[in-house]
Every structure is written in C-alpha cells, then in structure tokens.
Structure 1
Amino acid sequence: MDKSYNPQAIEQHWYQTWEQKGYFAPQGDNAPYCIMIPPPNVTGHLHMGHAFQDTIMDALIRYHRMRGDNTLWQVGTDHAGIATQIVVEQQLNGEGKTRHDLGREAFIQRVWEWKEHSGGTITRQLRRMGASVDWSRERFTMDEGLSKAVCEVFVRLYDEGLIYRGQRLVNWDPMLHTAISDLEVVSEEEHSHLWHMRYPLADGSGYLVVATTRPETMLGDTAVAVHPEDPRYRHLIGKAVTLPLTGRTIPVIADDYVEPEFGSGCVKITPAHDFNDYAVWQRHKQELANQPQGGLINIFTVDARLKSSEFDDFTFGRRATVGDTQLADGEGLVGNPIYELIPEKYRGLDRFEARKQIVADLEAADLLEKIEDHKLMVPRGDRSRTVIEPYLTDQWFVKAAPLAEPAIKAVENGQIRFIPENWNKVYFEWMRNIQDWCISRQIWWGHRIPAWYDPEGKVYVAPTEAQVRRKYNLSPDLPLEQDPDVLDTWFSSALWPFSTLGWPEETPQLHTFYPTSVLVTGFDIIFFWVARMIMMGLKFTGEVPFREVYIHGLVRDAEGQKMSKSKGNVLDPLDLIDGIELETLVTKRTSGLMQPAMAKRIEKATRKEFPQGIPAFGCDALRFTFAILATRGRDIRFDLGRIEGYRNFCNKLWNAARYVLMNVSSERQSHPEQTTGDEVLGTPERWIISRLQSTTQQVIEGIENYRFDRAAQAIYDFTWNEYCDWYLELSKPVLNNPASPEAAKRGTRRTLVEVLEALLRLAHPIIPFITEEIWQQVAPLAGRQGETLMLQPYPQPEINTIDQEAVEEIEWVIAFVTGVRSIRSQMNIAPNKSIPLLLQAGTVHDRTRLETNQDFLATLAKLDSIQWLGEETPPPAATALVGELKLLIPLAGLIDKEAELKRLDREIQKMRKDLERVQNKLANQNYVERAPAEIVAKERQRAEEVTTALTTLEQQHAEIAAL
C-alpha cells in the first residue's frame, strides 16, 4: 500500500472496475430488495441534497447486496419538461432564433440532440459519489417504454372519468406561458405596499375601504366580502358598491373567510386571480351568477398584460376560430369578450405598469385612503423568477379523491410505513383534503396529451390518431387536431416504480422487484411525488409501490441556514470530493448573480470562509459525514470541520492497514513456517474479537432501523478508539518482544488481519472506495477469496462468542493507562518520559489484573517502575482513580516546579480575561435581546467551558504549589 492515503488515486479506478464488471446488477440468491432512485432532472447538477440521499440509498443497497439479497437499485433521469425546454430555448436565443422558428417537431429533435450530448452531467456525478446503481437498466421518463406507460395510464383514467378537462385557477408563469405546479413556485418575503382603496356604495351613502397588495386586479373584482358577524357591515350585506374606475357595480357578500381584525375587515373578491377568492366564489356561485362571466373575470393575457381585444380571450387546448381567423396553437374562446370590461386606457398595459396607472388614477379621484409599507410573500417561478399569477384557464385535471382513498388506507393498515412515523400525520392531512391535480403544461417538451379535437371542439382520447378513429368509429374525412399541451413531469414520475420495470407488460423484473422495498426521499415532495406514486401504484398494479418511506431532513449550512445561491452558502459535493481553488470557487459562486452588490457580498464571504479554497476530502469522507449526521428526519447542519475529521478517520484506517500488512505479510514472507500451527489468543485478542461482535450488531441494527448515524458512529468508535488506538498498541508488546511465544504472536497476527478484514466489510456500505482498496491487500492474508469486497458476505454478529471477562479486563487496562496519561497531560510531563507509579488501595482483582497485564501497562503508560503502597501516607503526588485503585505519580523530580507554576499563572490569567469578556457580553441586556439566539447560546456555552477549564487549572496550580 502507498504510504499516504490519496482518495483521488483510488476512487475513480474502483468505480470504473465495479461498473465494467457488472457488479451492480441484481445477482443475489435471497429475497429481492429494490430501491427506485428519485429521478434527478436531466438538466440537473448534483447538489448536497442529492449527495446526502444517494449516500443513504447506496449504503442500503450495498448492505443488502452483501447480505445476498437479489438487489436492484433502479436508476434513471427525469425529462424535466420546463427546465429542459428553457435550456434549449436559451441556446436558440443565442443563435437569434426561437422555438417557433424551428416548429414543434424540429424543436423536439433539437432537445433530443441536447440530451444526448449534454444531458448526462448528473449521471456522471452520481458515479463520482460511488452510487452502485444498475446502469444497464438506466431509464429516462421520455424513453419509449415509459412513454407507452404514460399514455396507457392517461387513456385508462380518462375512460374511467378520472381525468377531465375543465376551467380552474392555476399557478401561471407569464414568462413561460404555462401552468406550473406548487413545487415550482418559490415564495419569498419582499418589501411592497398595502393600498387602501375606497369603494363607493352604489346608493351614495358612503364607501367601504378595501386593502389590497395588488390594486391592478381590482378591474376583475366580482364582489366585496365582509364577515357575517361583523357589526360594522352586517347591514350592508346584499347591497352594492361601485367598482372604482369602471362604473361597474358589484355586491357585498358575507363569508367566514374574512378576518374582521385584519385591515378594514372588507376584502375584495377577485376569483379569477386569487386562490382564496376562487374558493369564496365557489361558495357564492348563485349570488354572483349575474356578474360578467358568472363572476370569473380573467383580465390578463398569458403574459400578464391587461386584455386589449377579443383575441386575448382564450384558453389553451382546443382549435377554434374567431370570424375567419384561426387562433394559433390550439387557443379557443371562453365566452363573451372580457376586454370590454377594462377601461380603454389600461388595455394592453403590463400588470405592473397598470398598477402604477391605477394607483395614480385612484389618488386623483380621491379614492385612495392610504398606502402602507408592507412585507409579503411573493410567489415566483423557480425557473423564470417571474412573479407567478393565479390564472383562470382550461386545463387537464386528475380527479384525485377516488385515487386518494385506497392510498390513505394503505398507510392506515400498515402496507406502507413512514419513517419517522410522524410523517403519517402530514400525509393524512394532505390526502384527506386533496384537490384535483392539474396535469397539463403549455410547453412542447414532454409527453403530449393523447387527446384529439374535431372542428366542433369535441374531444377524443386514445394513444394515436388511428386508434382514436377506430375507438370512436370516426370518419376518415373528419379533421382532427391533437391537443398541443404536454403532461406535467410529475405525471410520468408518479408511475416510476412500475413503469421502469416494464409495465404495462408483465415482465419478469416487474414480477420480481415490485413492490419495491423502500423509498428514500425528502419531506418536501411527499405530496408531489410520494403520494402520487402510491395512488398510481395501487390503481394500476393493485399493489403499493414500496413497503417503507424513509423521510430524511434537508442539508443546511453550519449555522442551520438553508443553502441558496443568494446567501452564498451553497456547497457543491464534487468540490468537497475533489477540492477547488479559491479563485475558481469565487467565480463559480458569483456567476449568474444579476446584482453586482450581491455578487460582491458573496465573493467577500467566500474569501473569508475559504481563504485557501476547499481541499480535496475524497468521496468516502463526504459519505461518512452524511451518514453520521443522518439522524431520523431531522435537518442536518453540514460543517466542513466534520468532513475534515472524517477525512482523518479514513487516514487513520489507512495507516492501521499499513501497520497490519507490515506485521503480517512481512512475517509470512520472512518466516512462512511460523505462520501456521497452534495459535494462542491473549486477552487483548479475545477483547477485540468480542468488541467486533457487539459493534457488528450495533451497525446492523442502525442500518435496518434507518439510524445511519448510529451505524456510522459505531464503526467510527470501534475503528478509531478500540482497534486503532488500543488493539494495535496492545499488539506491539507481543509482536516486538523476542521472548513472546510464537503461538501468541501467531494469534495476534491472525486477529489483526481477520478483525481488519471484517471491519472493512462492515464499513463498506458507507465508505466503499477505501475499504475496497485495503481489502484487496488484506483479503488473501485473511483467507478470503473473491474479486471484490462489494460481493463478500456482510459480517454477522456471533454474540455467544463474546468473552465478557476479557472485555472487563481490557477495559480495566484502558482505564489504568488513561489515568496515567491524564496525569501526564495535566502536569505537563513529557509523554516519552518514563515515570514511577505508586499504587494504593484497590481490590484483589486489581492485583491479579496488574500481574497479568504488567507488560502492557508498562509499555503503554511508559512506566519505569510500579510499587504498591500500604496504608502509609504517600509522598506529594498527582492522583487518578481506577475504581477503588489509586494511581499516584510522585511529582518531585518530574517537573520544574517554578517553571510550571509560571506557565499555569499565564494560562489562568488569560482564561480569566476570556471569561470576563464573555460574562460582560452576557450581562449586556441589549446584546442578549438583539443578537441571534444561536449566537447568544454559543456565548453561554463558552462561558461554561471556560469556567470548567479555569477550575481545573487552579486546582493543578494548588497541587503543584503544595510540593
């Protein structure tokens, strides 16, 4: 083995070897075990959330593969309709073209070309993380098989009346001209205003004051609502007000939605432009039936301008004509022109231009009561960053309630188990109040909706036009146009667990691996993906899609803040693995930030946090960090200090392996005749073998109960604290002493190598690269055969072999040596200086253990003599206890009394000043109240730590002064 641990030299080599030799494919003889990877966007790049959950999944997969299970980790990517279309359109824009210049068919071909050449970034990054997915079965949500499944599901749901087309309010992106899902809307707090407007009563008796954050939408008001029990307005219910600037009258209605305490207690109702108002409209349809469009007045065009002609009054999805003009791209009229309801001066204005003009006109007409500064959550499209508009359009919907009922029962009766179980409540709350799912998108890239329209707008649904004509017995001469919309990306991913296995065909893979074993995902997509997979799985296979759902937390920065580009705290997992220079990191973090001030702030923060850039930690160190932080369901705070520590852990394991190889392989080469024969296992050997059994049980329990933190911690403690720090040291007196019996040396060497080999198998699911590299060297010495560690059997605990007496005896040795080393540290005695040790009190067991382990104690504690005292008064000495046994080190002659007192005086003085500074800060009430809570908590913790350390130093000073 190389002298130094260099992860870059081994990781990519081993991954290529594993993949080329087909080790990731299912091949176990036991029960099937399957995980479906949450398909990352084909446009995507690996981020910390991906790296975290991929580590968890890979640990599970590698564990079950080593257990002999028929293990499949199904991989694939999502076509990411909107995100991918944006990428390719931006390329076209750079060429001075738009998708309309190419036309739909040529544009789709352009997207496929992009996908082939540039769409594999995320899969290359998955390989860098060590993901042992079965690449031979890689799927794509737009490949032929999955497209067939999507079409089959749509048609069957439509034929059963579970898919319909209707006019509803949706999230609308005015830049992309499409409906988007809630998950694609990012709401952020922004500074704005609250405009208080006067709505005159139609009878001239006064006015109502209505407050709004979007005054431009008043042109689409249908009513003003008050609370039915509000005494200020009860007498006005049923009366009318004049809508300012329009002359149109609208009624005053009563609804419990209104909060009398908020604002003036009067709320404008604009059902075509607000989700809450739309819910009010649904409860008051009859009251508002005489309003234009039945009370649903959509005043905006698709790009959020105020309508200016009858051609703006359309919805998507149907072919229609206005006079002799055919509307483009399947647009059709929804009824009487709305633009006539809009005063001419506002027609065609952008919504924000209209806002300024309307506010100015209200003020000029004395209809503006006041304007208040106001913070509000502004919804923006996560791709376009445009303010999202609630927008009334015709869309395709899935009727969700009938599908939700069996999905609820599947969790209630335990067919599916959420881990942690508290997510059951979240799931039930959403499912029992589920709304119909908008599945259509007004873009070109995606699964095109298999629906056709005749000239009268009648709809026909089947996979192809030919099948439509056969299914509905249509004349060959009847012209048909396919719906231009595509399906929401979440529609195809809802089928992922069974479509990837070959459904609707009854494939052997589907029979073997469905239902899958566990889904590993974040809580933020329980509704968008998890729930929909359960609904679709039950509907089309009769089985749940997975038995368990492990919900993990989000990865946050060291301060607990969500990682975001605007905060400049985003970490790229590949930068942590391979390292990145400061200048490159700064360029990477500030690229794409539109505001120079923000870019400058992020650059400054980056230079402060990473003055030397980010060193290369390696993949294993990153994976171990994720595993040990993976407490159930909680968000994790990622601190670079932790990954540095686990890089040191990997280095510790590497150096331990080098020690073992040097002592075992060199001995076999030099004295092959002495490597066989009877072996004697001493107390340290029986102890470390016993501790291995207990550790193995802890690790297995941790993995199987999704407590990866406990599994990783058990591996860490055993490797670092027991095997490396103690057993390797306990082996040296045996191996280095010429007088040691050969049988004892053989027993020590065998134990060194066999425990290490088992430890490598135990740790492999979490840190696969370093364990494979070391195992290749260690396995032959341990009598193991096989080409790769990843297909070796996982260790099983042999609890009945635990030697409790050996465990207790070595724990006594460790406590003894630790006590001596503690005195050395406290009294500043050099570690390599041999010292005398006095013993007093103790038990018969202590005397027996001392006699048995005297060589170990003398070597590890660096003792030149050990003397038992009777009941006489010992000389001035530093003391430690091991149970009832007193360890005494006479200090006379071991330390320079005056020099040590001066050193302690300096330390005490420095610590007192530090404590005074912290205490003064905490005594300042303004600081305590205004500083962030986590900062104050850190200062209080610091005060406690300094106080404890100061007490220890003062005690040491007193002991030395008494000499």
Structure 2
Amino acid sequence: MPENDTLDKNFSPRAVEARLYDLWETSGAFAAAPESDKRPFTIMIPPPNVTGSLHMGHALTFTLQDVLIRWKRMQGFDALWQPGTDHAGIATQMVVERLLAAEGTSRKELGREKFLERVWQWKAASGGEITRQLRRLGASLDWQRERFTLDEGLSAAVRRVFVRLYREKLIYRDYRLVNWDPKLQTAISDLEVESREVKGHLWYIRYPIDGEEGWSITVATTRPETMLGDVAVAVHPEDPRYRGLIGRYAKLPFVNRMIPVIADEYSNPEKGTGAVKITPAHDFNDWNVAQRHPTLPVVPSVIDREGRITLAEIHLDLLRQDDADFLRSLEGVDRFAARALIVERLKDIDLLEKIEPHTHQVPHGDRSGVVIEPLRMVQWFADASVLAQAAINAVESGKTRFVPEQWQNTFFAWMREIEPWCISRQLWWGHRIPAWYGPEGEVFVAENAEEAQRLAREQLGRDVELRQDEDVLDTWFSSALWPFSTLGWPEETKELKRYYPTDVLVTGFDIIFFWVARMMMMGHHFMGDVPFRDVYIHGLVRDERGQKMSKSKGNVIDPLALIDEFGADALRFTICAAAGPGRDIKLGRSRVESQRSFVTKLWNAARFCEMNGIAPVADFDPAQVRHRLSRWILDAADGAIAEATKALEAYRFDEYAQVCYRFLWNTYCDWYLEFIKPTLIGTEHYETTFQPEFRAVAAHVFGIILRLLHPVMPFVTETLWHHFGFGAEGSLIRAPWPTVSGQERSESHSDVERAIALISEIRATRAVLNVPPSRQIPLLYQSNVPLFEAWNSEIRRLGRVSHIDLIEGAPPAGCVQIVIDNGATKAFLQLADVIDLDTERARLRKKRDEANAEFERHFRKLENPDFAKRAPPEIIEETRAKMSAASAEKEAIAEALARIGG
C-alpha cells in the first residue's frame, strides 16, 4: 500500500473517472493485438448515429458489451471492441437542414456539393459528441480503430457490394409501391414506419351497380380521398350477401369509371360492410390484391409526392362537366383537406350512407412524424428473400444462436415472409448509388465513373455523357456491412482473417430486422460465414413504473446526469443487476442511488482493511492457511468465481451482479470481516496468533473481489487495486480474471456455514418479533454441543446473546425455538421477559389478515378480463408486483407466527 496515502472517507467518482479513462486509453489498454498469439474475441459496436447523444438505451447496450469485453481481456483473450458511428442519412440531413433554415437558406439553394460540404463541417464540429459520452460511461472501445460509415474504406466496400449484387441480379430497379414520406421527400423502408393509434372515422360510401337503378354496394373506408384511384370493390368469396354481385360492375363516384366487384379473401365479412375499395396505387394490401387479379390495373395514382391530389392520370375530358369541375377544384389540394371536400360532395349527391367513429393504426414516418403515403415509383430494390435464406439456415443449424432463444422465432417469422428491400433514398447525405445513366436511359452500374464510362463505351460503341443516379442508399445498407467492412474488406487484411466472424452481438430486439438480419444476409453472402456466433438480445429500458420513456411523458432519464450525480460505476452496476433475460429493465434515479450504496460498501470494506493493516502479502499461498475461517472464505471465493464466470458465459448479467453483490456484502463484509474483527483489533487474545493469516487472507480475497467486479465497476476497482498495492495505477484492466483454486472444499466450510445459519436465525427471529436491538437475550440448546462451544463467542457477539446454556428436557415457558440442519440442531431464545408473546401473536395475525386482503385485491384485479384487456402494460406489471410483494409478506408473517406457536 502506498505510504502516507489513506483512503478518503467517501469515494469521489469525479476525481478519478476522467483521469483513469485517459490513462487506460493512452496506455493502449483497450487496443486489440492482431499479431498476438492469444485467442481473439470480437464485439462490434452497434454504431450510434453521428447525430446522437447518449441515452439510456445506449447506456444499457454499451455497459453490457463493456462488461463482456473487459472480462474477456482479463481471461487472456485478444479482445477487439470495434468502435464507430453511423452517418445516419435522414437524421443528419434533417439536423443540417434545420441549421440552414435558421440561416434563411436551404440545401436546394446551396446545391448538392455545397450542402455536403456543410454536412461534413457539421460532422467535424459536432459529430463526435456521442463518442466523448461513451468514454464517460467507461466504454473501453479500441478507439484507434474507430470507423465511420462514410469513411472512404467503408464507402469502397459499399460500392463493391452494390455492384456485385447488381451483377448477380440481387439488386434491381423496379416500379413498385413504396412508403413515401411527404415531409422528408424520400422513400423509407417498412422498418422506418411507425404505426400509431389514431381516432378517425369510417366513411360508408355507396357505389351504384351498373345497369341497376337504385342498387349499390356500400364500402367502408378510412381514406375517402383515395377513392379517385379505385380499380375494384372486393368481397369475400363466401360472403352470401354479395355472391350475386361478383363479376358485376360498380360506378366509381365522380370519375364514373366502371370497376369490377371481385372475390378475394382479403375482404373481412366481419369488418365494416364486408366490401372494401381496392386502390393499388395507395395501399400495400390493395397492391397485393391487384397482383392476385392480373386483369386489374394498378393505376391511377391520385396523390403526388407532396401529399396533394393529382389528376394527371385521370381523363377529365371524358367526365360530366360538374364532376370534372369538382375534380379540378381538388387539383393540388392537400390529401386531408381533399378528404373533407370529397366527403361533403358525397353527401350532396346522396352517396354517403353514414360516418362512424373509428380508432385504427395509421403509418407514420418514425423521424418526420407525418402520415406515410404509399406511392408507385421507380426505386432500387434488393432481393431480400434470396439473401435471407442463408441467414435462416444459419439460425436453424445453430451456427448463429439467439439468446434468449425465443427471439429466433421472431427472426424466423419476419425473415420467412420478407419483402423486397427498397434501398434507395431521395437524399443527398449518404452513399450515392453507383449507377450512371446514358442518353437513352441505359443503366451502367460500376464502382466509379471511369468504369461506368468503359461499360458504356463497350455497350454503345462510343463515348457518351453519363449522369449518376441522384439517390443515396438506405443507411442500413452500409451498416449491414459493418462486421467486415470495418476490418478492411474487400481487402484481405490480417484483421479480417483474425476477427471475423465476431463472437457476440449485443443489441435490443427493436433492431433485429433493421440491422441484425441485414448483417446476417450480407455477412454470409460476401464472407461465406455468419457475422457473429451469438446474438444476445436485451430488453428496453423503461422508467421505474415500467413505462416506455418518452419526452411527451416527461420520464426520459439522462444517463450523463446519473453519472454526474452517482458515478459511472453505480449506473453500470444498476444496469447489469437489472439485465435479466427476456425482460425490459426498469430504471430510475432512485435505483441508481440505491446501487451506489454497493459502491460505498466496497469503499468502506477497503477502508476497514486499510485501518486494520490488511494489505497484500508477497508469495501468499492459500494452500497453507490453517484457520477454519480462512479456509471457509477461500472456499467461498472459489464458489463466487465459478458462479460469476458461469453467469457471464451464459450472458446472465443479472446473476453475475448478484453473485458479486452477495459475496462482497454478505460473505466477505457481513460475515468474514465481522468474524475476524476481534482478532484484528486484539480483543480476543487467544486468537492473536492468527492475525497475520487473517490479514493475508482478507487481502487476497479482497483482490479477488476487485477483479470480479472490475468488468462492471471499473473505476472504483481500479482505484482500490492501485491503492492497496496489487499493481501499478491502471493495471487492473490487464490483471488476470480469478480462477478457482481447484482445492477440495474443506470440512471447516460446513462448520462455518452452520454457525452462520444459527446466527442468521437468531437475528431473523429477533427482527420479526421486534426485539429491541440493544436487548441481550439468553440462548438455550439441547444438541450439537461442539457447534455451540466452538462458536460461543461469535454467537453471543453477533446474535446479541447474553449467555448460552445447555439444557436437558423441555425448555422453559416463553421460549421461541430455532432450528437449523433440518432439525438436527435446536436452540431456544428466552423471550418471556422481553416481549408479550400473546400480544405479538395478535399483532402478527392482524398483519397477516391485512396482507391477505392486499393479496386478494390485486389477485382479483388481475383475474378480471376487463382489467387485463384495458389496463396499460405498466399498470398490469405494477399490480402483479404488488401481488407478489403481498404474497411474500404473507409467507414471512406465517413463518414468524410458526416461530412463536401462533
């Protein structure tokens, strides 16, 4: 231990976090070693958006990854945690466009080249904020290898992949329906569409049957504005109401176009009228109906890219004058304003049967927040169904494993029904599509303009002017290549050979389809192997009541504020302790504050050791210890090492945290240090000969505790490691992970455990019977004489027992029985003169009745179908937790009554 340097009363995270992190980073402690003969272990960071700032979702994901990577380094692996950020096409373009708007200009006024210059300037000035924040969390990424998805190396990989897939006919241009965002003016993928519940209406519209005066078919629709593009009315083939109409024609109001009544199972007889309008140009389900009925057209489109009515594909000159005039009045009108005008017109001509309130799901852009409009247009697509097959096979065969396993079912459900992936975006910031067009629309796909020119010359026989595609690729296209593009692909680098495939991907279930599946598709196709062996899926971070965090609810928690207040170690341990498999994580300020007490417990244990001369002993040999307490704590340390290692191997971060918590707080502090305290301070002279051994053992085990806790609490453990002289400052990160000694468990282990069980039972009895802590109580016993004689001093001191006597026959009246060892050891606390047992029984029975009533109230609520159906998930979870708490209280009271014969 350093001389003249004692621990402060309290641990101050602010005093050490930045300094220690800088020391680790500058000393190369985070760096992988490709030339090493160590076994590699690789984790790829889910690259956060360059626009991002650290939120609780990041804190969860990166804490768990850091726990794994620090653990593997300590196990002797050559660990690579690959850092980097994503260019985040839409998000970044939105940020810079807002800045330009504040300056009174726009990207269109600047032009593409100048706009991109401004984005790169913004990225250089502000784009590194989240990487600085990750350092505050303690994330030990190999920063010297940091990548950006628009780096030239990664851009080259993107171009290579696009060209190869195009030549393999797995990328193509097509005229299809896509999700169009009228605000951002770009196509977006299904995964960027967010369904929101909206309180709207169902409009019931009559379509007159051709040739049948007064006869009509009524359709129910949530979108009257698209009726101008209807091409059919669909009814269920087995719906008896409409069998006579199948094959007939209905007149489309205003347009007066005859559209067929068709039979298709898409129509649900239980919804609306059972008859639905089919508008293939503005609805994906309707598009699919049209594909099943080849005689149906997929035109016209009646809404443009601005979300306004367009009549370009309607022949107004063939309509009656009043209809044509009405439609002309709709030209260029916003779709929702046009909805109101169309409804009023339907009322005027008596074709609106009724209007009903209707709550339904409406697709919105997840970034723009506006209602998405399905539109037909030419876009670039990837044949995801072909690419998905190898990924499906990998999971089916076990080459890639989902943890928890149930997430593979979610993966299969989506992958087996996957649609073509629209990969083009009408943006300027991103990877520009490497396709050039000739004078007659010829397409030349190449990795650069020179190669495109060569292809054009070969095909056309002359040099022509080429124009590059204006669009960029979906951000997820480049991030799908992350596991191998960051390692140097398409070059055959030593890093690529060594670190691919990676070992584990840690991520949330919300991007299984965005990112996980796409990496699996691309990884297998271009590398011939899966990109990762394990996929650990964690839940979402919610607030303490289980509600999803959102700005509108005002329950968003800033992890940086928690770090400022409680330190990174406390936040990390809170996250780890809550990260159970398959469940969301409830987290709030109070939980982090509570777990800070664990950091404090470690610090206080260190101060106790320091004040009692406990320090590492050179050449200490655990096999040479003689005292039963020494052998017991070493056995217990072996158990903690084995359990912690097993938990991390199984990605049971919560169990790892619990093992560390129990071993430090209960085993080491509450029992071992308490047992040896009198010997250390010299109050029990017959034990003084064991002072050196106790100090050596306590220091050795404390070193094990610091190593076990380092992956989750790196700052406080590194501080104490150096302070106690276990190693140089900043060296714990490189210290070996503790291993089990391999020695057989000693007989003294059971002996100590029995003493602990007995003292624990004495304490529990005193607690449930409200015995004042200061009151010393006599203890009587009938069996197991060696136990009571060997541990007489400890039982009296730690159990607050006045004296211990052996008795024969029945105990005196007013005794409470204590039993351990399945009844083999019995003892009796004499409480007749301390508490009124009759009064205590009455008090406990009253509490039992209250707990029963509380349990029944919550049980009945959960059993109520209306409650289960209507209550928000967080309220149901809260009710279930209250019922569980009431059940636990019932059991505790029943146990207390049993102790006093109640």
User: With structure 2 as the length reference, what TM-score do the two structures score?
Assistant: 0.91
2:60 to 48, 52, 71: 52
My pick for the range that moved more, 270-279 or 562-571, is 562-571
User: Which residue is 1:463 aligned to?
Assistant: 447
User: Which residue is 2:4 aligned to?
Assistant: none
User: Which residue is 1:631 aligned to?
Assistant: 580
1:885 to 785, 805, 825: 825
1:432 to 412, 416, 423: 416
| Alignment partner of 1:766 is 2:766 | no
SS at the partner of 2:498? helix
| Alignment partner of 1:527 is 2:513 | yes
| Alignment partner of 1:232 is 2:241 | yes
User: Which residue is 2:374 aligned to?
Assistant: 390
User: Which residue is 1:78 aligned to?
Assistant: 86
User: Which residue is 2:753 aligned to?
Assistant: 811
Distance apart, 1:183 and its partner CA: 2.3
5 Å-filtered alignment, 1:59-138, equals 59-138=67-146
User: Which residue is 1:609 aligned to?
Assistant: none
User: Which residue is 1:708 aligned to?
Assistant: 653
| Alignment partner of 1:559 is 2:505 | no
Distance apart, 1:438 and its partner CA: 0.5
User: Which residue is 2:182 aligned to?
Assistant: 174
Distance change (3 Å), C-alpha of 1:118 and 1:748: same
2:308 to 285, 305, 330: 305
Distance apart, 1:946 and its partner CA: 6.0
1:264 to 273, 278, 291: 273
SS at the partner of 1:664? coil
Could you give the per-residue CA deviations for residues 408-451 of structure 1, whole angstroms, max 9, x where no partner exists?
A: 22222222222222222222232222221100000110011111
Distance apart, 1:716 and its partner CA: 1.2
Could you give the per-residue CA deviations for residues 6-26 of structure 1, whole angstroms, max 9, x where no partner exists?
A: 323222222122112121001
CA contact under 8 A between 1:307 and 1:342: conserved in structure 2? Answer: no
Distance apart, 1:407 and its partner CA: 2.2
My pick for the range that moved more, 230-239 or 690-699, is 230-239
SS at the partner of 1:808? helix
CA contact under 8 A between 2:207 and 2:218: conserved in structure 1? Answer: yes
User: Which residue is 2:27 aligned to?
Assistant: 21
Q: Given residue 19 of structure 1, which amino acid in structure 2 is its aligned partner?
A: E
Distance change (3 Å), C-alpha of 1:666 and 1:278: closer
Could you give the per-residue CA deviations for residues 453-498 of structure 1, whole angstroms, max 9, x where no partner exists?
A: 1222111111222221123326775222111100000000010000
Tell me how far apart the structure 1 counterparts of residues 862 and 172 of structure 2 sit (CA, whole Å).
62
Distance change (3 Å), C-alpha of 1:510 and 1:468: same
Distance change (3 Å), C-alpha of 1:921 and 1:827: closer
Tell me how far apart the structure 1 counterparts of residues 776 and 86 of structure 2 sit (CA, whole Å).
66
User: Which residue is 2:434 aligned to?
Assistant: 450
User: Which residue is 1:547 aligned to?
Assistant: 533
SS at the partner of 2:244? helix
Q: Given residue 369 of structure 1, which amino acid in structure 2 is its aligned partner?
A: E
Q: Given residue 748 of structure 1, which amino acid in structure 2 is its aligned partner?
A: F
SS at the partner of 1:42? coil
5 Å-filtered alignment, 1:837-848, equals 837-839=779-781, 841-842=782-783, 846-848=784-786
> Cα RMSD (Å) of the superposition?
3.1
Distance change (3 Å), C-alpha of 1:528 and 1:341: farther
SS at the partner of 2:217? strand
Tell me how far apart the structure 1 counterparts of residues 863 and 766 of structure 2 sit (CA, whole Å).
44
User: Which residue is 1:619 aligned to?
Assistant: 568
User: Which residue is 2:148 aligned to?
Assistant: 140
SS at the partner of 1:125? helix
CA contact under 8 A between 1:73 and 1:134: conserved in structure 2? Answer: yes
Distance change (3 Å), C-alpha of 1:173 and 1:685: same
Could you give the per-residue CA deviations for residues 559-602 of structure 1, whole angstroms, max 9, x where no partner exists?
A: 33222222222222222222xxxxxxxxxxxxxxxxxxxxxxxx
CA contact under 8 A between 1:246 and 1:342: conserved in structure 2? Answer: no
User: With structure 1 as the length reference, what TM-score do the two structures score?
Assistant: 0.86
CA contact under 8 A between 1:733 and 1:856: conserved in structure 2? Answer: no
| Alignment partner of 1:413 is 2:397 | yes
Distance apart, 1:342 and its partner CA: 9.0
Q: Given residue 145 of structure 2, which amino acid in structure 1 is its aligned partner?
A: R
Q: Given residue 632 of structure 1, which amino acid in structure 2 is its aligned partner?
A: P
Distance change (3 Å), C-alpha of 1:795 and 1:118: same
Q: Given residue 417 of structure 2, which amino acid in structure 1 is its aligned partner?
A: N
1:32 to 30, 33, 40: 40
Could you give the per-residue CA deviations for residues 503-534 of structure 1, whole angstroms, max 9, x where no partner exists?
A: 11111111111111111112222222112111
User: Which residue is 2:482 aligned to?
Assistant: 496
Tell me how far apart the structure 1 counterparts of residues 69 and 863 of structure 2 sit (CA, whole Å).
53
Tell me how far apart the structure 2 counterparts of residues 830 and 281 of structure 1 sit (CA, whole Å).
81
My pick for the range that moved more, 183-192 or 103-112, is 183-192
**Residues matched between the structures, number:** 875
User: Which residue is 1:244 aligned to?
Assistant: 253
Tell me how far apart the structure 1 counterparts of residues 789 and 665 of structure 2 sit (CA, whole Å).
28
Tell me how far apart the structure 1 counterparts of residues 478 and 622 of structure 2 sit (CA, whole Å).
64
| Alignment partner of 1:478 is 2:478 | no
Distance apart, 1:821 and its partner CA: 2.2
SS at the partner of 2:535? strand
Q: Given residue 586 of structure 2, which amino acid in structure 1 is its aligned partner?
A: R
Q: Given residue 343 of structure 2, which amino acid in structure 1 is its aligned partner?
A: V
Q: Given residue 371 of structure 1, which amino acid in structure 2 is its aligned partner?
A: I
CA contact under 8 A between 1:837 and 1:866: conserved in structure 2? Answer: yes
5 Å-filtered alignment, 1:786-935, equals 787-803=730-746, 805-839=747-781, 841-842=782-783, 846-871=784-809, 873-874=811-812, 876-883=814-821, 884-891=824-831, 895=834, 933-934=876-877
Distance apart, 1:914 and its partner CA: 8.3
Q: Given residue 21 of structure 1, which amino acid in structure 2 is its aligned partner?
A: S
Distance apart, 1:39 and its partner CA: 0.7
SS at the partner of 2:368? coil
Distance apart, 1:779 and its partner CA: 3.9
CA contact under 8 A between 1:35 and 1:518: conserved in structure 2? Answer: yes
SS at the partner of 2:451? helix
CA contact under 8 A between 2:614 and 2:695: conserved in structure 1? Answer: no
Identity %: 50
Q: Given residue 350 of structure 1, which amino acid in structure 2 is its aligned partner?
A: D
Q: Given residue 119 of structure 1, which amino acid in structure 2 is its aligned partner?
A: G
2:632 to 682, 687, 695: 687
5 Å-filtered alignment, 1:356-395, equals 356-395=340-379
CA contact under 8 A between 1:187 and 1:377: conserved in structure 2? Answer: yes
Tell me how far apart the structure 2 counterparts of residues 950 and 958 of structure 1 sit (CA, whole Å).
12
Distance change (3 Å), C-alpha of 1:118 and 1:63: same
Distance change (3 Å), C-alpha of 1:678 and 1:807: closer
Distance change (3 Å), C-alpha of 1:340 and 1:520: farther
Tell me how far apart the structure 2 counterparts of residues 259 and 406 of structure 1 sit (CA, whole Å).
36
Q: Given residue 372 of structure 1, which amino acid in structure 2 is its aligned partner?
A: E
Q: Given residue 420 of structure 1, which amino acid in structure 2 is its aligned partner?
A: P
CA contact under 8 A between 2:251 and 2:257: conserved in structure 1? Answer: yes
User: Which residue is 2:473 aligned to?
Assistant: 487
Tell me how far apart the structure 1 counterparts of residues 446 and 854 of structure 2 sit (CA, whole Å).
76
Tell me how far apart the structure 1 counterparts of residues 623 and 230 of structure 2 sit (CA, whole Å).
94
1:209 to 215, 218, 241: 218
Distance change (3 Å), C-alpha of 1:467 and 1:560: same
Tell me how far apart the structure 1 counterparts of residues 622 and 542 of structure 2 sit (CA, whole Å).
56
User: Which residue is 1:329 aligned to?
Assistant: none
Tell me how far apart the structure 1 counterparts of residues 324 and 632 of structure 2 sit (CA, whole Å).
89
Which runs of 5 or more structure 1 residues have no equivalent in the other structure? 289-293, 314-338, 579-615
CA contact under 8 A between 1:228 and 1:234: conserved in structure 2? Answer: yes
Distance change (3 Å), C-alpha of 1:511 and 1:853: same
5 Å-filtered alignment, 1:156-167, equals 156-167=164-175
Tell me how far apart the structure 2 counterparts of residues 773 and 830 of structure 1 sit (CA, whole Å).
40
CA contact under 8 A between 2:183 and 2:368: conserved in structure 1? Answer: yes
CA contact under 8 A between 1:380 and 1:388: conserved in structure 2? Answer: yes
